[in-house]
Structure 1
Amino acid sequence: MTDLVPLDRERDAEAVLQVFRSATDYVLLETGSLPTMENVWEFLDDAPPGQASDDVLKLGIVGAGKLMGVADLAFGYPSSEDAYIGLMLIDNTDRGKGFGRAALAQLELLAKERKATRLLLAVLEDNVTAARFWEGNGFSLELRTEPVVLGKKTCVRLRYVKQLSQVNFSIRMYRPQDLDSVIDVFIRAIRETAARDYSPAQVDAWAQADRQLWSQRRMSRPTWVADVDGKPIGFIDLEPDGHIDMMYVDPRYLGQGVAKQLLQTVEAQARTGSLQRLYSEVSLTARSFFEKNGFQVVEPETVFRSGEYFDRFKMAKDLT
């Protein structure tokens, strides 16, 4: 059985240090140095910007009669309805035994008790094992941060998110008053989701929207939006020859089936119109999604847009 217990700064500092020393691989990966008591104090005292101490839990992961790991959980960060795991660390000798999964389940319960709708965390880009663990437990990559210096190392963090409550959305046709919302979805998707596969310069070049041109394009072709309480959280369009020019989903709603339902809507429309195939130019980020939904790569291509080169794929799905 695995339990989460509150940590006391003075009483438990030495025990926390032993956990850090038993997980030296993580500390070395993050800072390039062996763990010290300074790392312990930083963990016990750290809180996200603007968060009060009452909104941050410092927890010990206890199992088999010993402290085998530590975790912290902040409420109301980065937004008011979020919860954030700053760290979850398991003793090397106790990994692979289900303790991490059990601790995560309890962290999720704590987040839900505080009415959090999303659970977030950050993983070092080099920590492939951790990324695999989080992805295997329902987390989706949301964004890639700029490099930061931690100790002796320069690190890039990957932010992951898991929805704790299923969003209720519907698919409807685009309306002119949706313009600013779909532009916002477009920019968010590029700056947060696609940023993991493209450079900052590419993201800046891509995340541009001429409002007048967008208005004309949205009205010139059928466009469907995923709607939550009257506001679009995703959209897709379809041209007469089966070309999907755009499909984007707000990163805050990833993993909720929004993209899949948008694509299914377009496919149903295409079949109704007796189209023979659907095709699109797909980013590095979106390739795996399209492949899972029956599209195949026709050929890779590199295009030049707004002063930057972009790698992407021509993909198509046969509807016959």
Structure 2
Amino acid sequence: MSITIRAFQVSDLDAVIALFQGAVREIASQDYRPEQIDAWVQVDRAAWEKRLQESETWVAIHHHQLAGFGSIEYDGHLDMLFTDPKHQRCGVATALLKWLELAVVKMGIPVMFTEASITAKPFFIRHGFQLIEAQQVSVRGQSFINYRLHKVVM
């Protein structure tokens, strides 16, 4: 599979949001209730634009289609990593994660950390992240379990 990774552009915003919503609805729905999914997929477009522009955000392209995206903040926080459901288990998330790890190393940050969903936790563990703790979070009135994880990259 030929995957190209490039910097996020504002013109990608609507496609990135649609990919996020599709990934949560189709992939994460195996581990979360419908009302949790409905709360999770709500997006404030302006806030997302600001959030993605204020971090290192990268998109993965396969055959001229957006296949995934990921963002890392300047303190090593892996904020988002999502794959289009049609590209799941094809190496997209792995390619993006490797790219984001290199970005963290270039920033001189020794550890990257994230809060992973139940669905994503096994992926991160397979890629060398260590579990810190399970936690309860609230999103738009819905309670979720997710996992704080970290990985030493330097």
Aligned to 2:34: 200
2-side partners of 1:275 and 1:229: how far apart? 33
1:232 aligned partner, one-letter code? L
Q: Relative CO higher for 1 or 2, CA cutoff 8 Å, sep ≥ 6?
A: 2
* Structure 2 letter corresponding to 1:278: M
Gap runs ≥5 in structure 1: 1-166
SS of equivalent residue, structure 2 residue 89: coil
Matched, 1:279 2:110: no
1:237 to partner: Cα distance: 0.5
1:233 aligns with 2:54: no
Match of 1:294 among 105, 119, 128: 128
Does 2:91 align with 1:257? yes
- Given candidates 130, 138, 141, the residue that maps to 1:304 is 138
Q: Size of the alignment, in residue pairs?
A: 154
Displacement of 1:229 in angstroms is: 4.1
Q: Any runs of at least 4 consecutive aligned residues in structure 1 with deviations exceeding 4 A, and if so which? A: none
Question: Which structure has the bigger radius of gyration?
Answer: 1
What is the aligned-residue identity percentage? 38
Aligned match for 2:50, one of 212, 216, 229: 216
**Alignment-derived partner of residue 61 in structure 1:** none
In the TM superposition, what whole-angstrom CA distance separates every residue of 1:207-258 from its partner, at most 9, and x where no partner exists?
1111111111111111000013443220001111100111110011011100
TM-score by length of structure 2 reads: 0.96
SS at structure 1 position matched to 2:27: helix
Q: How far apart, in 2, do the equivalents of 1:319 and 1:172 lie? A: 21
User: Post-superposition shift, 1:262?
Assistant: 0.2
Q: Which runs of 5+ in 2 are unaligned?
A: none
Q: Deviations over 1:255-293 (max 9, x none)?
A: 110000000001011112211100000000000000000
**What SS does the corresponding residue of 1:315 show, helix, strand or coil?**
strand
**In the alignment, which residue of structure 2 is the partner of 1:168?**
2
Kindly state the Cα deviation for residue 307 of structure 1 after the two structures are TM-superposed: 1.0
Residue in 2 aligned with 1:188? 22
